[in-house]
Structure formats: C-alpha cells, structure tokens
Amino acid sequence: MMIVPGRSKKAQGASLSMVPIFLLVLCVMGSMVLVAHRAAMRQEAFELDREKRQLAQSLGFEAENLLAGVSRDEGLGELFQAQRSKEQAERLLTAFNRRQATDYSVMINKSDGQIIAESGEIETFPARSSYIRALIDASRMRGLDATTIGIGRESRVMQDGQSVLSLATMPIGRSIIFATARPLGSAGLRRLSTMLAIPNLRLVPGLSDAKTSYAIPGLNGTEHLSLVWNPSRTAAETLADLAIFGLIASIVIAVIALFLFRRMRHSTEAILMREAKASHEARHDPLSGLPNRAVFCEALAENIEDLPNRDSNIAVLLLDLDKFKDVNDTYGHAAGDKVIVDFGNRVRALLRQTDVIARLGGDEFAVLQSGIRTHLESNRLAQAIIDAANRPFQLEGASAHIGVTIGISFAPDDGMDVATILRAADTALYRAKNEGRNRFALYEHRMTEAERIRKLVDDELRGAIDRDELTLVYQPQVHADSGKIASVEALVRWRHPTHGLISPATFISAAEERGLIVPLGEWVMRRACQDAGRWPGLRVGVNVSAIQFRQANFVELVGRIMTEYKIEPGRLEVELTEGVLVEDADQAEAAMMDLRSIGVKLALDDFGTGYSSLIYLRRFAFDKIKIDKSFLDSMEATGESAILVHSVVHLGRALGLEVTAEGVENEEQRRFLQAVGCHFLQGYLFSKPVSADAIDEMLRTERGESAVLPVVGPPSAITPNAA
C-alpha cells in the first residue's frame, strides 16, 4: 500500500560486496601457496643438485685432502730418494700411511705401470692391485701420468662392495707415480656427512630409487654402490613450515579483511540508511508517514499507464477534513496532529493492498483505488471513510468530532492523465463541499457557473490581493430632498485577468468560508480610508463582514487606519448586517461601543431581510439603517411592503436614526421614499457604483452646476397605505 524505497535490495547489495573481498583474499592466499610450492620445489631441486654435486666433488676432495697431506710431507723427498730399494720404499710408505692416516699407498713405474712398492691394509682392499692396475691401464691408453689418472678425481667402488676408495695420485720425478688411498668406511661417511651437511649419509648396495642417492659405478661398470642420505629439506617440509606461516598470515589477513569489511559495511550501511531515510523523507509526509503528493502522482501515472492492459477502472478520492481547523483552534496543534495521524490510519485500514493513500498537505488526503469495476465500489469506500471520520477521535482528556468531504473521479471515464483526473476529483470535492460537506460527490462533466467562480475564489483570491487585482468602486447615497451626494459606499471588485470583473456577491461568501475575508476586509478598509482623503466632508461607508468584525483586533485596526489616513470622526461609516449581532451579542455590543468611541458611524445593512430586526434596533447603538432592496422590489407587486417601508422609516426616525433606502431604481420609488421621510437614497437611479475618479467628477459637477440628479417630483402611484 505504501511505496517504500527498496532498502532490502540495497542491504543485499551490501552483503554481496563481501564476496569480492573474500575472493580477493582467497586469490592472494592461493597465489601465496602456489609461489611457496614452486619455491619449495625449486629449493628442493637446488638442494638435491647441490648435495649430488658436493658428493661427487667430495669423494674426490677426500683424495685431494690426502694429496695435500702428501704434498706437504717432509718424507716425500726421501721417498723419492729411496725408490730404488723396494723394502726401503715400502717402509717409507708405511710410515707415510701412519702419518697421513691413509690406508694404502703405492709407487708405480710410470713407463710400464709396474708397482715399485706398496704399503697398506691390503686385506681391506683385496682387489686393490687389480683396481689400481685397471686404473693405470685405462690411463695408460691416454699416456700414463698423474694428470691422466686424475688428481683427486677418482673414486670407485671397490670389490668388497661396501666401501669407496678415495685415490690420490701425483707424479714424483719423471718415472714414478705416487698414489695413496683411503676407504670411505662408516666413519668416513659420517665425517663427509657432517662436512657437507648432508644428513645420514650411508652406502647401500646396488642402484637406489631414492631421489637422494648418488650412484658410484663399480669397477666392472655393472656393479654399483649408492650413496643415500636423508634429504636435508624436502619440499613437503618447507611447505609445512610455510603452511604454518601461511596459516598465520591468512588468519591475520582474514581478520584484517573482516575488520575492514565490517567497517566498510558499517559505513556503507550508514550511507544507505541515510540515503533511504532522505529518500523516504522526500517522498513521505513526516507527520503521518504517508506518501506525499509526488508519490501519489507517480502511482497514479503508473496506474493510468497500465489501464489499457486491464479491464478495470481506477478511482481517485480527494479527502478534505471538515471542522479540522476547529480541532486545531480548540485543542491545539498537537491534537490536530493526532487527528491527522489517526484519520490516516483509519483510512489505511479500509484500503486493499493495491490501493494508495497519500497526505497531500494540511487536512487533505488522496486515495487511489485501483482495479474497480463499478462506481459503487468507490461510493462504498467513500462512505466507509466518512463513517470512519465521524467516529470521535480520542484526545488527551477530550474527544474531537470531525467529518470528511470527498470528491471522486475515475479513469478512464473522467480523463487519462494525472492532472485531468485530479482536477476532476477536485471539482467533485468542491461540489460536495458546497452541498454541505461530510459527504462525497462524483465528478460530473458539467459544472455550474457558481461552482466555477467559487472554485476560482478558492484557487486564486488569496493571490489576487498581492497582485493588486482588487479595486474599489463607490456608490453615492444622496439626500432624498436635495439629491446631493451625502456619502458614498465602498464596494469591492475583482478584476480577474482572464475572467474579467467579478462581483463581490459571488466571492465574498467564498472568501468568508476560506478565511480570506480578513485580509480582504483590511485591504478594503485601508483603500476606502485612503480614497476618503479625496472627498473632505463626505462620509464613506465600508461593508464589514461578520467574521472580520469578530476579529479581536478589529477596532484597533480601524483606529490605526483612521489615524494613518487622518480620517476625522464621523467620516467613516461601517455597514454591519444582522449576522454580526446574532452570535455573540455582548461582544458585538462592546465592539460597537468601542467603534463609536473612536468616531465610527454604524449602519445596519440589509435591514428587513433578517427576522428580529427591531430587537437589534433597540439594543444596539446604530446610527443608520439601510432598508434592503428586496423591500422596494416587492413594493411594486404588493402594497404591503410599502406599508412596511413606511413604518420602518417612521420607526427609524422615531429612534433618532438615519434611514437609507437601497436599490432605488426608478422615479416612483424615489418619490415614495422621499414622501415617507427617508433621509437618503441609494440606487441605480442616481448612480451605479463607479470609480473614485468618477466620484470626483460628480462632486465637481455638483459644486459647479445646480442639478445633475433627477428633479424631485410628486409622489408616485405607490403610496403608503396610511391604514
């Protein structure tokens, strides 16, 4: 029923925005894992490569070590010297072995590869000689020397299949090669393992499948030993380490992301809420929470647009509360607000889900009823709304009674656009108001002239004062005897830019109903007093409506205006009707006394149209009575009125009042009124109401010439029946 912005949709949007953040975190973490994995794999491969290279080198390095020892040995020279004696040489070799902690050393004749001398634990290397020989043989093909055998670069599986022999060779002199060897037993392996930081290095027979293995070919090329070790740091291990770090990092990132996200969502939500609130406020009446005019018009436009697709009609009901101003005036604005809210709720309870209610402003509401098939449905709803409005409204310590007037229009019957439909409903509302309020009316295509003008007053009179569309005309009251102008009565006119001159008879009562009579009356009073300055000594009559007269500050206002325009006492005459006196006679009396005290004359207007005129005459201190035109009108038809006029004039005179007859249109009337002793006459016979300039002209003529006014003749056929 109420149109609210899609807040939930936006909130959903806010929660959706979490997804990209988590996807981002996931991507970052995923790439971290990938990078880590790659790095670990590379590290592992690199490490493996290093270990293998180092092993390959180190097996030779062992030999180099030996050789380095040998090269620094003091006994090398002796050894060289002693080479011709096998025993001596072997002794020296033994000593060398002991000193250098080598297991085996040998001297070889460079030219034929024969062993000159050897020393060492031959049993450890049962095949050493054949191995060495094979080595030498192989080398000899390339020319036997230390270089070709390879210094510190030889390591081969020995036939025991358990250990590796490190062999160091170097040339001594021109004909001898000196070689020395040390097996890599478990102690050697441990040493190597520590030195190279290759954990748990050990020998296994055969070729190993393990990645961390280094094959050492046997002498015969088929027999192998494998050096295996525990991988120093497998990728899995690295990854496990990284995983812990990654986990911690992920948790930190996730927490930060969550924190940021929550903050973001918080501020997003705040912004969305602010937005939603602002948009709600822009589209809703803050007091009742009901949609406003803009929303209503949107909904109406949408419904009209959709009409061709449906076989139903829509109705617009314009609601205007009756007596709402009284509630405000009597119980205060808080009470008025409560009535508005309660009324809105009562109407809402009568509507269907698809209907729309809006508050257009003040005490005006609108209802959009869609999907109706007959006007009866709208009539029923309107009656239900009226019944709801007529139930008392509970206020603090009081209950308020109001009513509601409703105008109804239909689409497509009364129009197919928002403006037309609303105007039609407004016209119907107008009619309902004029028919007496607290009822509903349907729009009818034709509208009476009176309705159009009353509506015009409603819509435009307020602005008319500001736009200076009002003007005053003056109608003279002449002395019945001399025909000279005694006073003028100010009568207001509305010069409407399109409708031309509008008579006060049509808009005064509408202005009273709409509360516009007070500013209008003030304007008239001011302008009349201003114009009075042009006619010294002439009395100026001003019509004052009952509502205006009852304003608390009325007398004060008149006093102020009189001072402002320097109006002497007795120059201003206020014309009042009986209506002024009916409601609060005491207050009226007091105000009248006050007016008199500031020199204002009082005339009882339209005398004879009320019902207890004589009572007023006795009680209230009038200076003048103005006999209503209707008397003269009926005088022509019946003689009775003539008698009445006669007695009224007599009575007035007896009470010491001045008597004016209004609406004098012909000579007979004038003669009669003069004959019965009426003091003043006013009517078309003398002059229609005219502009101030025209009055100037008349006064000038009067002063210069003897008679512009008709000559007073003998009494007419209408004579008062003296019975």
Q: Which of 457, 427, 594 is nearest to 517 (CA)?
A: 457
> Residues 447 to 466: which contact ligand C2E by CB under 6 A?
none
Q: Which is nearer to ligand C2E, 464 or 508 (CB)?
A: 508
- 153 burial type by CB count under 10 A (0-12 exposed, 13-18 middle, 19+ buried): middle
Taking CB under 6 A as the criterion, the residue among 313, 663, 671, 681 binding ligand C2E is: 663
- Residue 100 as a binder of Ca ion (CB under 5 A): the answer is no
Taking CB under 6 A as the criterion, the residue among 504, 519, 599, 639 binding ligand C2E is: 504
Q: Which does 315 bind (CB under 5 to 8 A by kind): ligand C2E, Ca ion, none?
A: none
> Residues 554 to 593: which contact ligand C2E by CB under 6 A?
575
- Rounded Cα distance between 621 and 619, Å, is 7
**DSSP codes of every residue in 584-638:** -HHHHHHHHHHHHHTT-EEEEEEETSSS-HHHHHHHS--SEEEE-HHHHHHHHH-
- Residue 51 as a binder of ligand C2E (CB under 6 A): the answer is no
Residue matched to tokens 């925005």 = 17
Q: Which does 342 bind (CB under 5 to 8 A by kind): Ca ion, ligand C2E, none?
A: none
The stretch near ligand C2E (CB under 6 A) out of 28-36, 418-426, 678-686, 694-702 is 678-686
Beta bridge partners of 626: 660
Taking CB under 6 A as the criterion, the residue among 606, 658, 668, 702 binding ligand C2E is: 606
- Rounded Cα distance between 594 and 616, Å, is 17
Burial call 217-228: b when 16+ CB within 10 Å, e when fewer: ebbeeeebbbbb
CB of 658 to Ca ion, least distance (A): 14
CB atoms within 10 A of CB 211: 12
Q: Which is nearer to ligand C2E, 92 or 681 (CB)?
A: 681
CB of 682 to ligand C2E, least distance (A): 6
> Residues 635 to 694: which contact Ca ion by CB under 5 A?
662
DSSP annotation of 682 reads -
CB of 493 to ligand C2E, least distance (A): 8
- Residue 687 as a binder of ligand C2E (CB under 6 A): the answer is no
Q: What is the 3-state secondary structure (H, E, C) of 207-230?
A: CCCCCCEEEEEECCCCCEEEEECC
- Residue 500 as a binder of ligand C2E (CB under 6 A): the answer is no
Q: Which does 381 bind (CB under 5 to 8 A by kind): Ca ion, ligand C2E, none?
A: none
Taking CB under 6 A as the criterion, the residue among 522, 665, 667, 696 binding ligand C2E is: 665
The type of residue at 294 is A
Q: State the binding string over 519-558 for Ca ion (x if CB under 5 A, else -).
A: ------------------------x---------------
Taking CB under 5 A as the criterion, the residue among 605, 658, 668, 702 binding Ca ion is: 605
CB of 519 to Ca ion, least distance (A): 20
Q: Which of 479, 508, 512 is nearest to 491 (CA)?
A: 508
Taking CB under 5 A as the criterion, the residue among 118, 575, 578, 668 binding Ca ion is: 575
Q: Which is nearer to ligand C2E, 120 or 663 (CB)?
A: 663
Task: Kindly report the backbone phi and psi dihedral angles of residue 180, in degrees, each rounded to the nearest multiple of 5, phi listed first.
Answer: -140, 155
Q: Which is nearer to ligand C2E, 259 or 684 (CB)?
A: 684
- Residue 684 as a binder of ligand C2E (CB under 6 A): the answer is yes
User: For residue 625, what are the CA distances in angstroms to 210, 653, 661, 667?
Assistant: 135, 10, 8, 22
- Residue 578 as a binder of Ca ion (CB under 5 A): the answer is no
- Rounded Cα distance between 664 and 629, Å, is 7
Q: Which does 155 bind (CB under 5 to 8 A by kind): ligand C2E, Ca ion, none?
A: none
For the chain, the first-to-last Cα distance in angstroms comes to 76
Q: What is the 3-state secondary structure (H, E, C) of 36-99?
A: HHHHHHHHHHHHHHHHHHHHHHHHHHHHHHHHHHHHHCCHHHHHHHHHHCHHHHHHHHHHHHHH
- Rounded Cα distance between 487 and 428, Å, is 44
> Residues 468 to 487: which contact ligand C2E by CB under 6 A?
475
Residue numbers at the binding site for Ca ion (CB under 5 A): 543, 575, 605-606, 662
Residue numbers at the binding site for ligand C2E (CB under 6 A): 475, 491-492, 503-505, 508, 521, 524, 543-545, 575, 605-606, 662-665, 682-684, 689
